[in-house]
Amino acid sequence: MASDIQAAIPSPTGNTRLFAHVGHPIAQVRAPQLVNKLFAERGIDAVMVAVDVTPTDLAATLDGLQRIANLDGILVTVPHKVAVCAHAQRLAPAVELSGAANALRRDTDGRWAAENFDGSGFVQGLRASDFDARGRHVVLVGAGGAGAAIAASLVLAGVQSLAVRDVDTQRAVDLVTRLNRYRAGAAVAASDADFGRADLVVQATPLGMAPEDPLPLPLDALASSALVADIVMRPARTRLLEAAAARGLATHEGRHMLDPQISMYADFFIGAHSA
């Protein structure tokens, strides 16, 4: 079936719409192959490629990409989700609340719009696994781009409390401040006690991508009923998830956050140009 679809869409051609997925590192990303599969299934002549860009080169690279006339969108992964906001002229509410974006789109007027699907994808992934965040106590470890987006969506989904921890304490404080402007008292800087009462603990740092990475949170402090979620995509079963499972804790893999986003990406990128 896949080969029939590819044969029906001779891509790339001079008419093919281009999309980039930027990050550093980039080898771990799954989105390009999933988005390209969806493009093919929908009969859309478009292709997405992964692009490895260091933070030092990000501004110059985005400037070049945004000057390519047939490039319509850019997906963004670590560590660029905060910095890319400066390269868009329109910020969606999720971007304004989280301070981070994971998708940029060229609109029909040539201006660039920023959106963030990490948080909504994460919450949808929880629901698909029969976990409702409403009324829950949550601890979030990692207040970077993805973590901030997840925090925003969890607050929007009605969590009772959200405790945030980050090695950059000022970054955690800034995120808590933004969230509390939206809903007073929704978020706090995490204390050790917050781990003990958490219904859900979210690991939203890059730790776990390498096998030698330390565990990013204290599993011994968690209640036996806590769900441990990790947003790292590769490996699917990180050291944290394996250690949590060994303690009898329920676990939630990073793919559950990505899978709901694929159709969101395609709708976001293509919808504005096909309406």
Cite the active site residues: 81
Q: Which amino acid, one-letter code, is at 175?
A: L
Sheet holding 227-230, edge to edge: 187-189, 161-165, 137-141, 200-203, 227-230, 250-252
Radius of gyration from C-alpha coordinates of the chain? 19
Sheet holding 112-115, edge to edge: 46-52, 17-23, 71-76, 103-106, 112-115, 90-91
Peptide bond into 235 cis (omega under 30): yes
Cα 170–Cα 172–Cα 173 angle in degrees, nearest 5? 65
Residue where the block lists tokens 């329109």: 90
Chain centroid offset of residue 191 CA:
25
Residue where the block lists tokens 């930027």: 22
